[in-house]
Amino acid sequence: MARVYISSVIDAPADRVWERVRDFNGLPRWHPAIRESRIENGDPPDKVGCIRDFRLQNGDRIREQLLGLSDYDYFCSYSILESPMPLTDYVATLRLTPVTDGDKTFVEWSADFECAADVADELTGSIGENVFQAGFDALKRQLSGP
């Protein structure tokens, strides 16, 4: 099993960061790699079990299912149902933790998945850098400061 883990600190309160990332259909509003997204079957984007169908900037399509969402604990978990990436059993969690010293947010994004050994390093590096860290960097640009 491969694992990706990326963490960072955003100079904004956790409530403000959560407001931006909570919407399971809201990736195009904050993540630079996402072109468009829709929730299938008209489900609300915070309904556990809903499926988002989105396109990356390069046109690739990914479908993911919301597995868990907590406004109290500031986390969402999801799985990939369809992806052009050569992986299976992908489950990821995005979690926020308030940092009371300075009213900042500790953010962590992790994923576990199965893949062939010869592509594991490439996949974990790409997901870590191009998905997780790129998302954190975009949130920092959008939310940090006054």
Structural domain count, the chain? 1
For residues 23-52, average pLDDT = 96
3-state secondary structure the chain: CEEEEEEEEECCCHHHHHHHHCCCCCHHHHCCCEEEEEEHHHCCCCCCCCEEEEEECCCCEEEEEEEEEECCCCEEEEEEEECCCCCEEEEEEEEEEEECCCCEEEEEEEEEEECCHHHHHHHHHHHHHHHHHHHHHHHHHHHCCC
How much is the pTM? 0.93
What is the domain range of residue 21?
2-143
For residues 8-21, average pLDDT = 96
CATH assignment at residue 135: 3.30.530.20
For residues 77-83, average pLDDT = 98
How does pLDDT run across 86-139, given as a tens digit for each residue? 999 999 999 999 999 999 999 999 999 999 999 999 999 999 999 999 999 999
